[in-house]
Structure 1
Amino acid sequence: MAITRWNPMRELLTMHDQLNRLFDESFGRSQSAELDYGAWSPAVDLREEEGQYVIEADMPGMKREDIEVHVENNVLSIRGERKFEEETKKDTYHRIERAYGRFTRSFALPSRVEADKITATYKDGILQLVVPKAEESKPKRIAIKG
């Protein structure tokens, strides 16, 4: 699995967006709740175990039908959409902090995995993917004739 480098700018941009939203809400410039939600991306843990890699993604509140997992050209992609719950006229929202929308997360797989044996389970808001490692090819001694 490829190791992703930590990007401090990502956290800075997230903080910038949150400050902008805070000022907009404070001065009454907020749009409707559906337009105001931000794009999101599920948090992912990736670990290596003996014989396999395990990827776990936090996706609370999502339905299994709204999640897709694909492998193509040694790239594992997780796609989905957390759908916005429509406001009702009788409800008055004072704060909307949960993020909604479409997302895609992609991971480059090492060349020595068995892509056709990847398994996916979704339970309690966590998607778990198990990516089996391929058997190491054993060295073979070649006899020299002559």
Structure 2
Amino acid sequence: MYNENRCRTGKMNSRWDRNFGHHHHGKFARHAEKMFGDRLRRVPANIEETDDSFIIHLFAPALVKENLKVITKDDVLTVSYAPKEEDAGAEKFSRREYSNGAFERAFALNGKVLSENIAAKYADGILKITLPKNPETNIPAKDIAVN
């Protein structure tokens, strides 16, 4: 999973980071910067862990659901949004504090997820992606006695 803090410090900062690693944008970041310039935005994500799944909640209000794309390839989950030209609108704002422009987020799965059972739903400005845990690679934590 891409994590700005890790990029600066080199440290892992959460259980998600330890389980899923980091996927830096690399080629995409350079390509997207050329394609979208400063219009590419960062969309915040919360990651919830339950006994049988991980759930990613991306806060992305006012999007057209048909322009969202969620794919897995090479054990990486990629979420992107590219509005159609007519969706970009020609509105003239006197003040604009948010936009519904293009974005992409990538999350390394590291074999921890059953990719064929991933489900996604967009409602009320939140994209909710449910990632069922792979029972073979998600071993519960074990307390070890210190003597």
TM-score band by shorter chain is 0.5 to 0.7
Larger helix fraction of residues: 2
- Which residue of 86, 90, 93 maps to 2:90? 86
Distance 1:106 1:7, change over 3 A: same
Q: Contact (CA 8 Å) 2:63, 2:100: kept in 1 or not? A: no
Larger radius of gyration: 1
Q: Which runs of 4+ in 1 moved over 6 A?
A: none
Residues 82-121 of structure 1: CA deviation (Å, up to 9, x unaligned) = 542212xxx6x32122234321100000313200000001
Who is 2:113 aligned against?
A: 113
Distance 1:108 1:8 in 2: 15
Residues 23-72 of structure 1: CA deviation (Å, up to 9, x unaligned) = xxxxxxxxxxxxxx743121111122111111010111001101000000
Who is 1:77 aligned against?
A: 78
In structure 2, runs of 5+ residues without a counterpart are 9-37, 138-147
The CA deviation at 1:81 is: 2.5
TM-score, normalization by structure 1: 0.62
Who is 1:99 aligned against?
A: 99
Distance 1:61 1:3 in 2: 24
Who is 1:127 aligned against?
A: 127
Who is 2:3 aligned against?
A: 4
Backbone CA RMSD of aligned residues: 2.8
The CA deviation at 1:134 is: 1.3
In structure 1, runs of 5+ residues without a counterpart are 10-36, 138-146
2:97 is aligned with what amino acid?
E
Q: Contact (CA 8 Å) 2:76, 2:107: kept in 1 or not? A: yes
Aligned residues: 107
Distance 1:3 1:49, change over 3 A: farther
Distance 2:128 2:110 in 1: 18
Distance 1:5 1:98 in 2: 21
Distance 1:99 1:64 in 2: 15
Between the two proteins, what is the percent identity of the paired residues? 26
Distance 1:101 1:49 in 2: 31
Q: Contact (CA 8 Å) 1:59, 1:127: kept in 2 or not? A: yes
The CA deviation at 1:129 is: 0.4
Distance 1:71 1:6 in 2: 24
